[in-house]
Structure 1
Amino acid sequence: MTERLAARPSTGSTAAMVVLLALLATAVWAFADLRINVATFVDGAARAAEFAERTFPLDFPPPGEILRLCGQTLAIVVLATLLSTILSVPLALLAAANTTPARSARFGARALIVVARAVPDVVLAIVFVRVFGIGALTGVLAMGLHSIGMIGKMYADAIEQIDDGPPTALRATGATRLQQIAGGVLPPVLPAFVAVGLHRLDINLRVSVVLGFVGVEGIGYAIAESLRVLDYQRGIALALVVLGLCIVVELISGAIRTALLGRGERTRFARKPAPRNDEELGVDADLTRDPRLRSAAALVEGLVSPPWTARRISSTAYGLVTALVVVASMSASGVAPLELLGALPRVVAGLGLFFPPDGGGILALLFAELLVTIKIALAATLIGVVLSLPIGALAARNVAPSPQIAQAARLVILTIRGIPELILAIVFVVITGLGEVAGAVALGVGAVGLLGKLVADSLEEVDPGPERALTATGATRTQVFFAATVPAGVRALVAHVLYLLDTNIRAATLLGIVGAGGIGFYLLNASRVLEFGVVTTILLMVFCTVMLVELLAIWLRGRF
């Protein structure tokens, strides 16, 4: 009897399940209300055929021009990612509880990170075009400042998850706070920092295409100019170049992340219980066994030259290559370090244009369009989940029937991931016409690149014990999947789906740039006519919506 009672779901779990079912029902309603059905695409078949006739054969620029555009784009993206990384490190240290005891400082740092994430890079680019003009500097600042929202948060989370041993040992030896950070905090999180930066580099490469539509130089600007004159042959050809470039960069950065982190490194710096006394700390014993503590102790003693191990040689090589890439990026983009530093004070003046907020006399209309944007995001999330779950499951090596199928599914995910949502939106606008349907379908298809990868990674990371136990009893692969793999990964899957909804709300806001419906049209229009008070109002509306989704996600994760 006791075992039966213990097996019953708790009240919190039941409430969470009810909320999830309500979200599913709302997503189905949004899908139906937007009238996304087969007939929509059948009616668009003629437009699709006409679009194909106007697109093929593709008109690729000369190889020299392609290389110039790709080099210019990569240079802007590298500098933007570098800028956000440099600015995110001190912010993350201030935002992490184990490096900043003062609650007010942590709250202020977290607030800056949230604000950076809330203001879309497209809006920043429009403001900076007004301040600095069309050019590479605008793209570097827009992407760089917006990326702090992601990089700063992930850096702070990584710092909070480190082992407390090295910084505690340094503090016990009399090290200053700066020495504790340099010797006990940064070394263990450095590989994760680099991995996050590389991941953001991939994202910024796709974002650069969107920023091309508002005046940022590079291949995105060339695509925008081609589509502006309805030259689909050149525009789609350049979009394929972007796809190839994204795949190459993803493969290279993925290989570097794997080399830095290795398999199973995600839990390497998991937090351990804090020691209760000096004997339990065992400083002397740990210093002889833990290489991180030996390095930390050497720093305190002034010995900052560790031996040349294979790991140090590879790290030094990565550092030299990175320095060369940065120098080459500055040369290709034409953005000098002094110019970048001199521009930052003017950024503050530019951001001052956003205040005070103003409804512009269309506040009721803005709320109605916000509802449309939410419907687009819900419908897109439903489409993305339906498409991503089977593809993501097949991409997981512990689920796929064979390694070849897993590799093929990963290739599909990588290919879709390399296509910017804006390009997908343009294609579906041509097929289905202007409006919400194009935005929802574009985001839904594009979600496979994000959610499919997250699903595959989550399923691969489940504890293999239950799977092996069921397999040993003679269970089929399908039985093992539904009885062991899915229950173990359901908490992560719920978090990933809600993260996708969060992402889709912000992405749906920006697809209005190509007529994909929602509040994005009014956001971009207000930016172009310099009604920055209206821009602030729209951003606050979207920000509050995204924060509600984030709070819901936190609550659901705590109930499962």
Structure 2
Amino acid sequence: MNEKSMRKSRWQSVVFLLIIIVLTYLSSAITTFNFIEGMATIPEALGWIFTNLMVTQESFERLPKILGKLAETFFMSIAATTIAAVVSLFLGVFGSKTTKVNNFLSVFARFIASVSRNIPVVAWSLVLLISFGQNSVTGFLALFVGTVGFLTRAFIESIDEASQSSVEALTATGATYFQIVGKAVIPQCLPQMISWVLFMVETNIRNATLVGILTGTGIGYTFDMYYKMLNYNAVALVTLCIVITVIIVDLISNYIRKVIL
């Protein structure tokens, strides 16, 4: 890189940094957020956390109930992810340029992925809450719809990146469409697809807590109930259980990724 290019790159970095600073200042001014005052409240906030959010012997008496709700949330997340993965596999095959059946199905699959993915899970929860009420079905559907959008997009990209040589070889032998997809495309993409499914399992376990607060189900409802009762010791125990579960799932999924990739 010559001196002129380096000078241009430095100026671009300076301009970009100035833009970020201006946008940050404008955002603070519009939202009336004072950064200095915010930083000054951190010690007080930490003191409140360590004073009130403590797990006590009394809160441990509620552990069986908390674990039951946590298990409900965990299995709901697993079910929503796995069923969504099956649906997303078909949509991904139809939406990919490599395996598309026709342009209509390809556009339809990409449209479903775009709509489902770009609407937050919280928004889906609120929309479905009006139709289905506060129950586990609402939470399941909210996670399912959001997962379909994300996985469909991820599967389409994975299939698009598959090698064309095996597809062309099977095509030359007169293989059917389903034989090409099943023997040439899916085997190449399967490790990456499993990795995306594991990622969504982790994400949905986190999202299910917030969805549960809105839909009145699972560990999210338990958290919200204890919080409104000002039972902060129980809130601390619920939070601790969620954190431990997420860490365990993350460790397991990372191990599986190392094995398959």
TM-score class, shorter: 0.7 to 0.9
Q: 1:308 to 1:535 in 2, by over 3 A?
A: same
More helix by share: 2
Preserved CA contact (<8 Å) 2:53 2:235: no
Q: Could you tell me how far 1:355 is from its partner in structure 2?
A: 4.1
Please, which of 27, 39, 55 is the counterpart of residue 357 of structure 1?
Answer: 55
Please, which of 9, 34, 44 is the counterpart of residue 336 of structure 1?
Answer: 34
Structural mapping, 1:350-429, within 5 Å: 350-353=48-51, 355-358=53-56, 359=59, 361-401=61-101, 405-429=105-129
Q: 1:532 to 1:321 in 2, by over 3 A?
A: same
Unpaired runs of 5+ residues, structure 2, are: none
Say yes or no: does 1:446 pair with 2:162.
no
Q: What number of residue pairs does the alignment pair up?
A: 258
Preserved CA contact (<8 Å) 2:62 2:234: no
Structural mapping, 1:538-549, within 5 Å: 538-549=238-249
Please, which of 416, 421, 437 is the counterpart of residue 137 of structure 2?
Answer: 437
Preserved CA contact (<8 Å) 1:383 1:445: no
Preserved CA contact (<8 Å) 1:389 1:455: yes
Q: Could you tell me how far 1:377 is from its partner in structure 2?
A: 1.3
Which residue pairs with 2:221 in the alignment? 521
Structural mapping, 1:494-505, within 5 Å: 494-505=194-205
Which residue pairs with 1:138 in the alignment? none
SS in 1 for 2:97: coil
Deviations 1:401-449 (A, max 9, x none): 4566544433321211222223322333333332212111221112112
Give the structure-2-normalised TM-score. 0.82
Cα distance in 2 between the residues matched to 1:476 and 1:313? 56
Which residue pairs with 2:23 in the alignment? 325
Cα distance in 1 between the residues matched to 2:154 and 2:223? 30
Structural mapping, 1:160-175, within 5 Å: none
Deviations 1:255-274 (A, max 9, x none): xxxxxxxxxxxxxxxxxxxx
SS in 2 for 1:306: helix
Cα distance in 1 between the residues matched to 2:100 and 2:22? 40
Q: Which amino acid letter does the alignment assign opposite residue 179 of structure 2? A: Q
Q: Which amino acid letter does the alignment assign opposite residue 27 of structure 2? A: S
- The root-mean-square deviation of aligned C-alpha atoms, in Å, is 3.0
Q: Could you tell me how far 1:472 is from its partner in structure 2?
A: 4.4
Q: Which amino acid letter does the alignment assign opposite residue 506 of structure 1? A: R
SS in 1 for 2:218: coil
Q: Could you tell me how far 1:505 is from its partner in structure 2?
A: 1.7
Preserved CA contact (<8 Å) 1:397 1:403: no
Preserved CA contact (<8 Å) 2:209 2:220: yes
Q: 1:322 to 1:409 in 2, by over 3 A?
A: farther
Q: Could you tell me how far 1:343 is from its partner in structure 2?
A: 3.6
Deviations 1:283-333 (A, max 9, x none): xxxxxxxx5xx9xxxxxxxx9x92326xx7766665454444323212221
Cα distance in 2 between the residues matched to 1:407 and 1:465? 25
Q: What's the % identity of the aligned pairs?
A: 27
Q: Could you tell me how far 1:527 is from its partner in structure 2?
A: 2.5
Q: 1:391 to 1:328 in 2, by over 3 A?
A: farther
Say yes or no: does 1:552 pair with 2:252.
yes
Preserved CA contact (<8 Å) 1:381 1:501: yes
Whose relative contact order is higher, 1 or 2, with alpha carbons under 8 Å and at least 6 apart? 2
Say yes or no: does 1:478 pair with 2:178.
yes
SS in 1 for 2:8: coil
Q: Which amino acid letter does the alignment assign opposite residue 87 of structure 2? A: L
SS in 1 for 2:6: coil
Moved over 6 A (4+): none
Preserved CA contact (<8 Å) 2:162 2:185: yes
Q: Could you tell me how far 1:523 is from its partner in structure 2?
A: 0.7
SS in 2 for 1:335: coil
Q: Which amino acid letter does the alignment assign opposite residue 212 of structure 2? A: G
Please, which of 3, 8, 16 is the counterpart of residue 308 of structure 1?
Answer: 8
Q: 1:350 to 1:389 in 2, by over 3 A?
A: farther
Preserved CA contact (<8 Å) 2:91 2:152: yes
Deviations 1:174-214 (A, max 9, x none): xxxxxxxxxxxxxxxxxxxxxxxxxxxxxxxxxxxxxxxxx
SS in 2 for 1:434: coil
Q: Which amino acid letter does the alignment assign opposite residue 495 of structure 1? A: S
Unpaired runs of 5+ residues, structure 1, are: 1-290, 295-302
Preserved CA contact (<8 Å) 1:438 1:516: no
Which residue pairs with 1:511 in the alignment? 211
Please, which of 193, 217, 220 is the counterpart of residue 493 of structure 1?
Answer: 193
Deviations 1:498-550 (A, max 9, x none): 22222222222222222341121111222333333222211222223223322
Cα distance in 2 between the residues matched to 1:505 and 1:394? 28
Cα distance in 2 between the residues matched to 1:540 and 1:401? 48
Give the structure-1-normalised TM-score. 0.41
